[in-house]
Structure 1
Amino acid sequence: MKLLKLLFLFIYMPAAQLTAQYPFSKKIAIEEENLTLKANAIIKDQNGFLWIGTSAGLFKYASTVPEIITTSEIDKCHVTALYEDAEGTIWAGCRDGRILKVKKHKISWFTPPESLPKMAVTAIKQDAKKRMWFATGGEGLYCYANDHLYHITEEDGLSADYVNCIYPLTDNEIIAGTDRGLSFIKFEYGKKNIKIFTTKNGLPDNIVSCITESHTKNMVWVGTQSKGMLLFNIKDKGIQEISTKNTGWRYGQINDILEVNNIAFIATEQNGIISFNQAKHTTNEKVLTDSLFPKRIADLQTDNEGNIWAAAENKLISFTGEYLTYWHAAKGINFIKVHTVLADDEGKLWFTPDFRLYENTKVDSDKVSLRSYDITPPKDHIDITGLYKDRFGFLWIGTMGEGLFRMNLETGKWRRIAENPIAYYGNILSIAGKDNQVWISTLNGVSRFNLTENNYELNTGIAFTNYSKRDGLGSDYIYHILIDKQNRVWFATDGAGVAVFQNNLFTNFYTAGRFPASVTYSLAEDKNQHIWISTYNEGLFKYDGKIFTRYGIKNGLTDLAISSIAVDEFNNVIAVNKKGIDILNPVKNIVQHYGPESGFYEPQPNLNSISKAPDGKIWIGTDNGIVCLNTSSAAVTYRPVAVIEYVNLFNNPIDTAGRKNFAYDQNNFSFKLAAAFYKAPEKIKFQYWLEGYNKDWETTGDRVINFPRLRPGRYLLKVRASATNNFDAAPIAAYRFSISRKFWTTWWFYLLSFLVISALLYWIVMQRIKSIKKTQQYEYEKFQLQYDALKNQINPHFLFNSFNALLNFVEDDPKEAAILIKHLSLFYRKLTAYSQKEMITLEEELELLDSYLFIQKKRYGSALQVSININTDFRKSCWIPPLVLQLLTENAVKHNTISKDRPLHIEIFTAQYRIVVQNNINPKLEKEESEGVGLKNINNRYRFLTDIEVTQEENNGVFTVKLPII
C-alpha cells in the first residue's frame, strides 16, 4: 500500500515556451498569374457572397474561385474602397477618384452632375437617410443626396481633407477618421455642423485609420496609425477605454478591426493579424501560423459560416477564428493518441496524449501552462481511458489494464482503488458521476461508488455496488455512462444496445425490442432532457421519453458510425466520426460538417474522447491532436442559400426584375446558379424544378442549367442548394416568367377569328335569309294569286252543277222546289263565309257536305247512299281546304249512273293518316262533258299546302281518292 501513497510525478512547462492553438486557415489566390495584384478591400453582400477590391479591378467570389467583374465598356480600375447599400448596389471607389456601380449585374460608372474627386476614394458608406458618403485621400468628404454631389472640406470645419474612414450613426450623423482626429458631421438642408475630437480631447493618436462596429452598445472601435485601438462612446462622444494602453502597442498601423465573440481581430499594415481578448485584456500576436503570416492585412470580413477573411497582399486568407482551433503539439511534445479529455469546472483541460496525463491551465490563445503527470514510471506508461472530477475536487483516472485511480489535485497524492476487484484489475472504459455517485464501466460490467464526507480523505475506502448483465444490464461491455438530470443512469453497451438504471432497476430497450441497434457508443442529454445515443453503424438516435427517433445520412450526417457525442450551448448535437464533426440542429434539421476542408485531416477521433467546458467550448481528443469547437447559433444553423445570379436569353443577360414575359421565339434560356459556401464550394449541389417543364426536383452539380426551345406557357423556376444532399429545409430561390404563344395560336386570335368568321357567316346567312324571304314573298304572292284563282273557280263550278240539279228537281217535283232553294241558300251562305279561308276544320267541311247531300238526296233518293265514318275528335282537329269533299262527292254523282237498280255508294273515312273518299263505279252509257276542274283544283290546292300528294286510283270497280291529313 505504500506505493499507493506516492505523489504523482509531474513536469511543469512555462507558458511562454508552448506552441499555441491555431485556427484552420487556407489561402485563395485572387488571380493566379497576377503576382503584383494587391487586395485592398473585402465586403459581404446581402446574399453572402464576398466582393474583393484589388489593384487589378473588382472581383466577386461566388463560385470555386473569385471572378473579375468587368465589361468591354468598363476598364480595370484600382479599387480602394467597397460598400453595398440598402438596395443591394455595390459601390467601388477607385484610386483615381472614379466610382463604379454594380446593380443586378449591370456595371456602370457613377456620373453625378457635379465633378467627381481626383484623389483616391478611401471609404464609402450610406447613412440613415440613404445618402451616400465618399471619403477621399486629400479632398475631404463627398455626400450624394437628391441627385447632387455635395463637397465637405477643411474650409467647412472638417479636421483634415485626408479622410481615412467614415462610420454612419443612427441619427444621420457621420464620424470621419482623418489625419487630424475624429470629425462628427451633421449635414442637414445644406448646413454643415462639424465637431472635432483630437489628442487634445484624449485621443491617443490623431491619425485615425479605421472606425468599425463594436458589439457593446453605443460603442465603436477606433484604430490608429501608431497607438493601437480604443473603444469610443458615440453617445457621450468620449473615449470609453484604450484597449491596448496597459499592454502597449508595437504592431504599427491598424487597417481594420473585426469583433467576433468578444475577440477583436486586428488587421495591421506590417504585422499581419493580431487578436485582442476583451475579457482578459490580452493580445495574441500570432493568430495564424508562420506559413500564413502575411505582413499587410488591408481588410477583414466574416462570412455566413463563421469564417474570417483577410485581404492579404495578392490573396485572400480564410481562417476559422475562435470557433474551431487545433492544438497539435507543445514544444517538443506531439499530442497524439489523446484517448480522453476533461474540461473541469475550474477552466482546466485534462487530456491524455501518448499514455500520459496533462493538465492545461489556459492563459491565452497563444500561451498555455502545461503540467504532465506520470501515474507510472515513464517506461511503464499505461493508456488512460477515462477522467472524472468528483464533488470533492478529486480526479478519477481510468486506465486500460491497471484499473482505477483517484487523485487529490491539491496535494498531488493518489491511490489505486483496491477495494473493488473490477476497479482494481479492470479495463476502465468510462467514468461518470453526480453528487455522491460515481459510476465506472469495465469489460466486466459496471460499478457504482457512493461517496460520503469521509471520502474527502483520499485513503478512506469507498462503498460500491457492482452490476452485470445478470442484473438486467444486457451486456458486461459498457462503452459509456451518462447520469441525466432526472438522476437516471444510462449505459451504452456492446451487444445490448442502450439500457437505463432507474429506481434500482435496469431497463434494456434493445432486448425489449424498442431500440434497433445492438452496439451503442456514446450518450448525451440536451436541454429538453432528451437522451441522444450514437451507434456503431446505425447513426444517431433521440429518446424523448416515449419513442426513439433516428437521424442518418438523409438528415445530413456524413457517417453513421459516431464515436462521440455532446450537446452544445445552443442545444445542437455534436457528433464526431472518422470523417470529421457533424453539428446537428434537430429543430431545423440542419447539419453543419467540419471535415478536411476545415482542417480535420484524418483525425481518427477516439471513443468518447469529448468534453464540454463551462464556457460552452467542446474539446475533442483525436490521434492527431486536440480540437476545440466553439459553436455559435448563427454559424451552426447556416446552410447554403441558392441564388439565381443571372438569366441569359440566347446567351444575352436580361433584367430579371423588369422582364418576365417573352415572345414565342424567345425561348432559349440559361440560368447561372450560385450559393455562398466557402468552406467547401466544390461540395455544393443544386436542385431545380422548372414548373411547367419538369415534373419534380432535379439534382445537379453544375452551376449553369439550360432550357432550350421552351414551349409557350407559364414557368416557375425554383432552385435550392445543399452541401450535404439534404435539401428538405433549404431556402428556395424562384424566378417566374412566361413565353407567349404564336399570335395565331393565342386565345385572343382564336376569339377574334371566331368573331370575324361568325360575323361573316352571320352576314352571309342574313343575306341568304333576306334573299329567301324575298323569294318566299314572291312565291307567296304568286301562290296567293293562284290560290285565289282556284277558289274563285269553285263558286261557278258549284253553281253550275247545283243549278243543273235544281233544274232537274223542279221538273220532277215542283212542290219541293221552295225547300230545295232554302237549303241551297243556306249552303251558299256557308260557302261565302268559308271562301276567304285557306283552311277550315273537317267538321265545318262535313257540314257543307251535309247541306249539299241534302239537295242531292232529294234528287236521287235511296239510290244515293253516303257513309261517313270519322270520329268527332278527329273532325275537330283535322284541317282541310274548303269544298274538297263536296267536289269529290259531286264528281262521283256527276260521272256515275245513279238508280235503284244501280245505286251509288260513297264512303268517307280515315285510313293510314289519310282521308279516304271512295265510290263504286257505275259508268254512264254516255259520258257527260267535263272540264276536269274539280280534281285538278284539289291537287293544286293541296300542292300549295303540303308536300304530300293527293292520290287517286281505280281498282276492282272502286274509285278512290286519298287526301293528306293536315
Structure 2
Amino acid sequence: MKKITFWTGLVLWCLGPVSGQQPYFRYHKLPEDWTDAEVSTIYEASGGFVWIGTDQGLLRFDGLDFKPFRVAGNPNPLEVSAIYADRLGTLWVGYESGTIVHMHGDDSLRVWSPEEGLPDVPITGFGEDEKGRLWFGTYGEGVYFYDGTRMYNFNMDDGLPAEDIYTLVAGPDGRMLIGSDSGLSICWMEGGRKQIKNLTKADGLPDDIIKAILPADDGHIWAGGFDGGICRISLKDFSVQKPETAWKNGVINNLLIFDGLELWIGTEGNGIWRYNFDEKRYSAVESFRFGKARIQDLLKDVEGNVWVASNEVPLASANRQFEFLHDGLKDIQAVLYDKDHQLWVGAQTGLYKYETQADGGKTFREVIPGINVISLHDNDSGVLWIGCFGEGLYAYQKSTGATRIFTESDGLSNGSILSIADDGDKLWLATLGGVSSIKAGTNPFGDRIVFKKEEDLGANFVFKVYCDSKGRKWFGTDGKGLVMMDKGRIANYDSTGAQAFKSVYAVTEDESGRIWFSTAKEGLFSFDGSVFGHFGLQEGLRSLTINGLATDGKGQVLVIHPNGIDLLNPELKHFIYFDREVGLTDFEPNLNAIYADKEGRVWIGAKEGVIGFNPLKEALSIHPRIMIDRVSVFLEPIDFNRVNSFPHDRNGLAIDYSGIWLTDPETVKFRYKLEGFDREWIISADRRVVYSNLPPGDYKFVISASENGKFQSEPIATYSFLIRTPYWKKNWFIGASVLLGVLLVYYIIQIREKRLQRVEALKKEKVESQYETLKSQINPHFLFNNFNTLVAIIEESPELAVEYVEKLSDFYRHILQYREKDLIDLQEELGLVMDYGFLLEKRFGDGLQLKTEEIPQEACIAPLALQMLVENAVKHNVISKSRPLKIRIYPDDHGYIVVCNNLQKKLSPEKSTGFGLQSIAKRYEHLSQKNIRVEESADSFKVFIPLIKKEPA
C-alpha cells in the first residue's frame, strides 16, 4: 500500500496557559479506504510493528505504510476487539463476533478452530500463563484457557462474580487479571483445580466496575474503575492503595505506565490524564484533538513513544522523552530546576518561575523584571544566584524574595556572568573578564562577600565552568582551549595532538568520568585524562555548531545544536537524532541554556520556550528493529521460514525487508550483502532487493538497518538459501560416468583375456597354462578392491578419481602388453609395480609403504613376478596406520632382485594354495639356471628373484 504521510498536530503552544509540560503529538492518517474506520485497540509485537484493530479489520503499521490483513476465507471485514502475541511470537486476534485467528508464517490469518468450538460473544483480552497456556476473556461467557489439547471455561459456577469481562491481562506472576462489572478477579490453575480470588469495592477498590488493569514491574497492578478513579493493588496481600487526590474525570477505559514517573489514563469522554507519582496529582494531556475524546487504547513502544487511539483521532503518537513548555515567553537564555522541584528560567526580559495559577493552570510568573539573565545556580541555603549580561550577579532569596546585586565595583572581574558552578568549597563565576570565585555557602544578605579573581587561568573570556565528580574544575575559554584546575594545579588543553582547538563553549561529564566538551568549529571531544576522542560529521555528529552539552540520568550525552538534539551513548558511540519528529521545529537553542537536574532530566532553553528531556527508566531500543518480511521466487511469495532450497532454474529472488524506527521512520537506511554473490556491502533506502539468475551455490543474505546512517553495532537479519546444482554437474553424475567408462574398459579387457587364454591354452604346457590361469585370477580380485577405493575417492575429489582411473588403466594396459612375453625389461616391471603401488596406497593410505632402491638398468625379469610378490605381501599381512606394511625392492650382490616385507601375519590367515610362488619358481626353471629363494624370519619375509642379463639387440 502506498505510504500515507502523517501530519503533525499542534503542540499546546497555541493554547494559552497550560497545566504542565506537554508532549508533541503526530497524527497518522489511516489508508484512504479506511478513513471511516474506528480504531479499537493497538498493540506492539516483538518485531516492532504497530498492530491496529479497527471495526473494519486489522492493520499493520511500520511508521510509513499501513498493510491490511483479512481473515483467510472470509471476504467480509470483521471488527477487531483484542490483539496479543504469545511467547513464541504467534499473533492472536480476537473479534467482536467471537472469532479468534492466529497468524501463520505466510502472513495469513487463519481461523482458530479448537475441538470445543469458539464462543459467539466478543473477545475482550488475551493472556499467557507460566506454562504457556493461552487465556482469553469474553463479554458474556466468562474466561477460557487452552492447554494445547483442550479448552476450559471459568464462569460463575466456578466462583467468577460475572461473565461480562471488560479486560483480561496476564499478571507478573502468570495469573490472569480480570476486570468485570463485579470488581477485579484473579484466576489461575493450581494442582489441576481452578482458583479464583475476587476483589470488590468492599476490599478497597475505587469502583465495582473495573474496565482497565495494568501490571507493573514491582509486583503490583493498577486498576481503573468506571468512575471511581484508579488504585494500586499488591499481588502479595491484595492490599489496595488509592491516590489522595480525588478523581473527577469520568469513566476510565485504559491505563499506561512509565516506570517511576507517571500513569497515563484514557477516559470515556474526557481525553487523557496523567497521574504524576512524585507530585501525586492529575494533569490533563492538553491537545485540541484529545480534550473531550473517548480514548480507545494506549500503547507504549520500545522507543519511548506513546500511542493513542481515540474517536477523534484514530491514531496519534508522541515521544514521551520530550515535553514542551510555552506560554508566550520567548528566547530562554538560562534554565534551572531547583532542589524544591521548581523550574526557573532567565530571558532578556527578566527572571521567571513556572508555577500554578489560581485556575489550576501553570504559567511563568515574572520574579525579577528588566534584567538580562544568562546563567542560574541554586544552593542548599535557598539562594538563587543569577548571572546577568552586563549587569553583574544577583542573589535572590527564594523564601523571602529579597535580592542583592554585585557588580565590578564589588570585586567582580566582569559584569557578564556566562556560567556559575559550585564545587562545595567555592562558587565559581565564568565571565567575559575571566573567572571569579567566592566561598561556597556564603550568605549574600549577611556575610561580607569577597570575590577572588583566578589570575592563573590566563584567559579573559570564559564561556563555561564545570565542576566534575572528582572535584576538578573545567573552564571553557575563548583562545586558551580547555583549562583544568585540580587542587591548585592548572593544566591547559588546546590540542589533541592531531587537531588544535582554541575556543571551548560547553563541558559535561559522563558516568565513566570522561569529560566531554564542544568547540567553536571542530565538533565534540572527549577526554579521559590521557586520551582524547573526537566526533565530527564523519563520526555521526550532525552539526559542528554546538550550543550546549548535558548528561542525563542514563549517562547519555545530549548534544544540543540548531538542527536538533543528538543523543550520544558514550560507551557504544552511537547517536540517536531528534528534531522535527519530536517537536523541535525552529529549535534555535541558546548557548549553554541547559540544565541536568537531580532526577536525571535535562531542561533546554530555546527561542520558543523550554524543552524537557526525560530519559525514562525503561530500557529503550536504540536501533531500528530489522526483519525480513517476504521472499519471492520469480515474483511468487514463499514461506521463507520453511523453504530455503531451490532448483537451478528457480534462481531469481526478491527479498522485502523492514527497519522499524517509529520515532522517525523516514531516516532509516539499510545495509545488505548477499554472501556468496555480493563483494561489498550495499547501502540503500529501498525496502526490496532483487537478485536475478543466481548461479548454483550456498548464499546468505545479511541485512541491518540504521536510523543515523552509521552501521556500527546494529542488529542483523539473515536468510540462508541454496540454489541447487543441476544433476549433470554433480559429483555423483561425474563419478558414475567415470565408473561406467572403467567398467566398459574392464569388460573389453575381460573378453580379450578370455580369448587369449583359450588360444594360449592350446599352445603352452601345463605350467604355462597354470601361469596364465593365475594371471586371470589376479585381475578381477584386484579390480574389485580398487572399485571400492574409487567410489570413495569420487565423492571427495573428482580430480583424484580421474588420476586413479588413469593409473588403473595404465596398469591393465601393461598387463596386456607384458603377459604374452617370457621376459620384460626390469624397468618396465618396476613401472608396473609402481602403478600397482599407487593404487594400493590410495586404498590403504599410510598403512602401506612401497620403496625401490638402486635398481640395475640392464636386466630382465619374468613379467608380473614382482607384482605378484607385492600382492602376496598385501594379502597375507596386517595393514594399518598404526602397523604399516613396509615393502622394499632392492638388488643384492649376487645377481638377485629382493622383495622384502616386515612380517605381521593376520590372526586369521587368508586362504592360500601357494600357487603364485610355485608359478614363478616353475617359470624360472625354464628361464634361468638360478632358482628363486625364500627366506622367512620372525620379523621379515624375503623372496630372491634371479636377474637375467639383457641380450644385446
**TM-score class, shorter:** 0.7 to 0.9
Answer yes or no: is the 8 Å Cα contact 1:82–1:91 preserved in 2. Answer: yes
Equivalence for 2:141:
139
Q: Does 1:523 align with 2:507?
A: yes
Matching residue's letter, 2:269: Q
SS at 1:553 equivalent: coil
Q: Does 1:507 align with 2:506?
A: no
- Within the candidate set 455, 480, 492, 1:496 is matched to 480
Counterparts in 2 of 1:278-289, with a 5 A limit? 278-284=277-283, 286-289=284-287
Equivalence for 1:261:
260
Equivalence for 1:395:
384
- Within the candidate set 438, 450, 458, 1:462 is matched to 450
For residues 634 and 204 of structure 1, what CA distance do their matches in structure 2 show?
A: 28
- Within the candidate set 660, 665, 669, 2:653 is matched to 669
Q: 1:540 to 1:74 in 2, by over 3 A?
A: farther
The alignment yields a C-alpha RMSD, in angstroms, of 3.2
Q: 1:388 to 1:196 in 2, by over 3 A?
A: closer
Q: 1:189 to 1:404 in 2, by over 3 A?
A: closer
Q: Deviations over 1:449-484 (max 9, x none)?
A: 34575x5545723141243xxx453x4322111122
Unaligned runs of 5+ in 2: 1-15, 770-821, 824-855, 862-925, 928-949
Question: How far apart are residue 719 of structure 1 and its match?
Answer: 0.9
Q: 1:428 to 1:653 in 2, by over 3 A?
A: same
Equivalence for 2:3:
none
SS at 2:333 equivalent: coil
For residues 436 and 365 of structure 1, what CA distance do their matches in structure 2 show?
A: 43
Q: Does 1:311 align with 2:309?
A: yes
Equivalence for 1:81:
82
For residues 746 and 359 of structure 2, what CA distance do their matches in structure 1 show?
A: 93
SS at 1:203 equivalent: coil
Question: How far apart are residue 694 of structure 1 and its match?
Answer: 0.8
Answer yes or no: is the 8 Å Cα contact 1:451–1:463 preserved in 2. Answer: no
Answer yes or no: is the 8 Å Cα contact 2:245–2:281 preserved in 1. Answer: no
Q: Deviations over 1:577-635 (max 9, x none)?
A: 11111111111222222211110112101111111112211111011110111113655
Matching residue's letter, 1:298: Q
Equivalence for 1:45:
45
For residues 294 and 397 of structure 2, what CA distance do their matches in structure 1 show?
A: 50
Q: 1:166 to 1:755 in 2, by over 3 A?
A: same
Q: 1:451 to 1:737 in 2, by over 3 A?
A: closer
Matching residue's letter, 1:596: R
Q: 1:694 to 1:307 in 2, by over 3 A?
A: same
Answer yes or no: is the 8 Å Cα contact 2:404–2:445 preserved in 1. Answer: no
Matching residue's letter, 2:511: K
Q: 1:464 to 1:169 in 2, by over 3 A?
A: closer
Matching residue's letter, 1:732: I
Matching residue's letter, 1:220: I
Q: Deviations over 1:719-760 (max 9, x none)?
A: 111010111110111111111111111122222222222222
Q: 1:482 to 1:262 in 2, by over 3 A?
A: closer
SS at 1:23 equivalent: coil
Q: 1:417 to 1:109 in 2, by over 3 A?
A: same
Q: Deviations over 1:370-395 (max 9, x none)?
A: 442335xxxxx342212223464433
Matching residue's letter, 2:230: M
Equivalence for 2:226:
225
Equivalence for 2:718:
734
Q: Deviations over 1:273-331 (max 9, x none)?
A: 111123332111x214224446111111111110111122362111233x2100111xx
Answer yes or no: is the 8 Å Cα contact 1:422–1:444 preserved in 2. Answer: no
- My pick for the range that moved more, 340-349 or 607-616, is 340-349
Equivalence for 1:829:
none
- Within the candidate set 611, 620, 628, 2:604 is matched to 620
For residues 564 and 595 of structure 2, what CA distance do their matches in structure 1 show?
A: 16
Question: How far apart are residue 440 of structure 1 and its match?
Answer: 2.2
Answer yes or no: is the 8 Å Cα contact 2:253–2:297 preserved in 1. Answer: no
Answer yes or no: is the 8 Å Cα contact 1:338–1:623 preserved in 2. Answer: yes
Matching residue's letter, 2:129: D
For residues 627 and 782 of structure 1, what CA distance do their matches in structure 2 show?
A: 115
SS at 1:423 equivalent: coil
Q: 1:364 to 1:94 in 2, by over 3 A?
A: farther
Matching residue's letter, 1:719: I
Q: Does 1:216 align with 2:210?
A: no
Unaligned runs of 5+ in 1: 1-15, 376-380, 786-837, 840-873, 880-943, 946-962
Answer yes or no: is the 8 Å Cα contact 2:393–2:405 preserved in 1. Answer: yes
Q: Deviations over 1:175-231 (max 9, x none)?
A: 3222222333344687444443333444342222122212332x2112222222222
For residues 135 and 431 of structure 2, what CA distance do their matches in structure 1 show?
A: 69
SS at 2:508 equivalent: strand
- Within the candidate set 645, 662, 684, 2:668 is matched to 684
Equivalence for 2:461:
477
- Within the candidate set 418, 426, 435, 1:437 is matched to 426
Equivalence for 1:336:
330
For residues 357 and 684 of structure 1, what CA distance do their matches in structure 2 show?
A: 42
Q: 1:71 to 1:754 in 2, by over 3 A?
A: farther
For residues 345 and 601 of structure 2, what CA distance do their matches in structure 1 show?
A: 15
Q: Does 1:302 align with 2:300?
A: yes
Q: Does 1:597 align with 2:595?
A: no
Q: Does 1:532 align with 2:513?
A: no
Q: Deviations over 1:62-107 (max 9, x none)?
A: 2513211136634321101111111111111111111111132232
Matching residue's letter, 2:287: T
Computing the radius of gyration from Cα coordinates, the structure with the larger value is 1
For residues 657 and 690 of structure 1, what CA distance do their matches in structure 2 show?
A: 18
Question: How far apart are residue 496 of structure 1 and its match?
Answer: 2.9
Question: How far apart are residue 37 of structure 1 and its match?
Answer: 0.8
Answer yes or no: is the 8 Å Cα contact 1:492–1:520 preserved in 2. Answer: yes
Answer yes or no: is the 8 Å Cα contact 1:282–1:364 preserved in 2. Answer: no
Question: How far apart are residue 246 of structure 1 and its match?
Answer: 4.1
Q: Deviations over 1:842-889 (max 9, x none)?
A: xxxxxxxxxxxxxxxxxxxxxxxxxxxxxxxx9x9899xxxxxxxxxx
Q: Deviations over 1:522-576 (max 9, x none)?
A: 0012232221111223221111010111123344332232210011122111111
Q: How many residues align?
A: 765
**Identity of matched residues, %:** 29
Question: How far apart are residue 20 of structure 1 and its match?
Answer: 2.8
Q: 1:509 to 1:99 in 2, by over 3 A?
A: same
SS at 2:43 equivalent: strand
- Within the candidate set 537, 562, 566, 1:553 is matched to 537
Equivalence for 1:807:
none
Q: 1:250 to 1:387 in 2, by over 3 A?
A: closer
Answer yes or no: is the 8 Å Cα contact 1:355–1:382 preserved in 2. Answer: yes
Counterparts in 2 of 1:362-401, with a 5 A limit? 367-368=361-362, 370-374=364-368, 381-390=370-379, 392-401=381-390
Answer yes or no: is the 8 Å Cα contact 2:554–2:600 preserved in 1. Answer: no
For residues 226 and 64 of structure 1, what CA distance do their matches in structure 2 show?
A: 37
Give the alignment's TM-score, normalised by structure 1.
Answer: 0.74
Q: Does 1:352 align with 2:326?
A: no
- Within the candidate set 623, 627, 635, 1:643 is matched to 627
SS at 2:749 equivalent: helix
Answer yes or no: is the 8 Å Cα contact 2:212–2:252 preserved in 1. Answer: no
Question: How far apart are residue 61 of structure 1 and its match?
Answer: 1.3
Q: 1:631 to 1:559 in 2, by over 3 A?
A: same
Matching residue's letter, 2:952: I
Equivalence for 2:113:
111
Equivalence for 1:178:
180
SS at 1:764 equivalent: helix
For residues 212 and 107 of structure 1, what CA distance do their matches in structure 2 show?
A: 28
Q: 1:41 to 1:568 in 2, by over 3 A?
A: same
